[in-house]
Amino acid sequence: MIKKEIEFMSVSFLISQAKSVQKVIDENSAEIEILDQKIGDGDHIFNIQRGLKLVVELEDAIKDLPLAKALNMIAMKVLSGIGGSSGALFGTFFMTMAKSSDLDKDVDFNKACEMIISGIKAMKERGKADVGEKTMMDVLLPVSEKLNELKNESEFKTGLNEVIKIAEERMLSTKDMLATKGRASFLGERAKGHIDPGARSSQLIIDTICKSVINN
Ligand SMILES: Nc1ncnc2c1ncn2[C@@H]1O[C@H](COP(=O)(O)OP(=O)(O)OP(=O)(O)O)[C@@H](O)[C@H]1O
Ligand SMILES: [Mg+2]
């Protein structure tokens, strides 16, 4: 019952989530910048903030569009407007979600999970990183697995609380990993002792969206 009253993947949902995520990322920008200065080239926070700004600025252009078209426009903006690995990876995420079937019908919780799962799968194919390589995939892949279990669960709020926990644990787990993908892989043992910046930003995004859905 509750599920039907909540918008899970409408265009207005996407815009409002982008705004909430923007606020949380801004609040944590100093931490993410320092993490990327330690093991990357320091631009990850800039890439993420620019991507969010571009998406939020799309509001007027996409608010009356069908979901598939809006997702495509977001994908194009992210792909063309953000540099680095993040632009290609998140652009792929939105592009893949835009290709989901039946987007002209209401998207319920199960469908939203399916869309996110397919988006994360495409990111994995694009970046060729798996769990244990000290990237954002260390957070996103376990989250995707959990969403796959939840798809048919009637009590999704409990499930999303578990998603929040998994994302946090996996983000923290990147601290002691050696990096085998991305710039951090050039550092060898020196990458150890620092959380991966992409894992931290992804975890914050997941945390914000899950909490917003739970408290809706
Ligand atoms: N092949 C990959 N697959 C998935 N995520 C990756 C990959 N390479 C890097 N990342 C993630 O991207 C983050 C860095 O994003 P950023 O936007 O700074 O891109 P970048 O500077 O081109 O990438 P990098 O510094 O990793 O070469 C890393 O913290 C990591 O989580
Ligand atoms: Mg970088």
Q: Return the C-alpha torsion angle 129, 75, 46, 50, nearest 10.
A: -170
Residues in the chain, total: 216
In this predicted model, what pLDDT tens digit does every residue of 141-176 receive, in sequence order? 999 999 999 876 677 889 999 999 999 999 999 999
Q: Are 191 and 178 in contact (CB under 8 A)?
A: yes
Q: What's the CA-to-centroid distance between 105 and ligand 1, angstroms?
A: 35
Question: Model's pTM, two decimal places?
Answer: 0.95
Pair 40, 183: CB distance under 8 Å: yes
pLDDT category at 211 given cuts 50, 70, 90 is: very high
Query: Around Cβ 120, how many Cβ atoms within 10 Å?
Result: 25
Ligand nearest to the CA of 127: 1
Question: Are 120 and 135 a contacting pair, CB within 8 Å?
Answer: no
Q: Say if residues 214 and 157 touch (Cβ distance below 8 Å).
A: yes
- For ligand 1, whether the C-beta of 173 sits within 6 Å is no
CA of 108 to the centre of ligand 1 (A): 31
Residue 5, pLDDT score: 55
pLDDT beyond 50 at 11 = yes
- Can you give the pLDDT at residue 4? 47
Residue 69 has pLDDT above 80, yes or no: yes
Mean pLDDT of 88-100: 97
What is the pLDDT at residue 197?
A: 97
Q: Which domains does the chain have, with CATH numbers?
A: 9-214 (1.25.40.340)
For the Cβ of 49 lying below 6 angstroms from any atom of ligand 1, the answer is: no
* Atom number of ligand 1 nearest to Cα 183: 27
Ligand 1 close to Cβ of residue 89 (< 6 A)? yes
Give the pLDDT score at 106.
Answer: 86
Helix, strand, coil percentages for the chain (3-state, nearest 5): 75, 0, 25
Cα(76) to ligand 1 centroid in Å equals 19
Minimum mean pLDDT range among 73-77, 129-133, 153-157 = 153-157
Say whether pLDDT at 117 is over 60: yes
